[in-house]
Amino acid sequence: MDVCPSQILASSLLSIVPAGNIKPKRLTNLARSQFNLSGDLKEILIGLSLGDLYINKRISCLNPSLIFRQGIVHEEYLRHLYTLFQNYCPQGPKIQNPKPDIRTGKVYSAIYFQTYALPCFTELYNLFYLDGKKLVPLNMGDLLTPLGLCYWIGDDGGFCKTTQRITLATHSFTLAEVELLISVLVNKFGLKFTLDKQNAGFRIRISFLL
């Protein structure tokens, strides 16, 4: 049975949130240019970018924005992320209640928030997107830190109590990209893994230290 591992993120990293609580609906170009990211937040965003974080860059917009979205069952985790990035956002999280799924008849509610479109997110967008498609940067070994790995697991991982293994949903990446991620987990973090093929994608299972 898989359970959400977001409980490992229970303690909030409020100390790395920039000061200031002003939330204007629109920003001037000068105001946008004054936003920056701390080293800790950059590391967290690297991990989240391997998970469910979506970096949105409209054709008509010079700068990208970040969209954080989770199923309502992970509301506590999503609100934790908001505490980290709230000063980059015009407003707090919102709940979505879509129409019932045509296959199951169930309503899959979600919770999300979005940041301003800011130049400090451009480097991250250029790392992870090519022609609008998310990819794994070739220098991931230099980018992923223990803090980033923690948030990657919290964002897109699971834990199987039966096998005592952490799983990472990497289905949206190519086999070559998944193999690159595996090499980072092995060579940088000393983790042992198995690779599962699921439909058209792949899932990484991390078991224990080498």
In this predicted structure, what is the pLDDT of residue 200? Answer: 79
Q: What are the tens digits of pLDDT across the range 192-206?
A: 888 888 777 888 988
Residue 156, pLDDT score = 87
Structure tokens at 43: 């590391």
Residue among 58, 83, 13 at smallest CA distance from 68 = 83
pLDDT at 88: 96
Strands 94-96 and 110-114: antiparallel
Quick one: pLDDT at residue 7? Answer: 36
The pLDDT of residue 75:
94
Reading the block at residue 101, the tokens are: 């799924």
What are the mean pLDDT values of the chain's consecutive 10-residue runs (210 residues total)? 38 40 76 95 98 91 94 94 96 87 78 96 96 94 96 89 84 94 94 84 76
Question: In the CATH scheme, what architecture does the domain 2-209 have?
Answer: Roll (3.10)
14-36 pLDDT, tens digit each: 334 444 445 777 889 999 999 99
Question: What is the pTM for the complete model shown?
Answer: 0.83
pLDDT at 3: 41
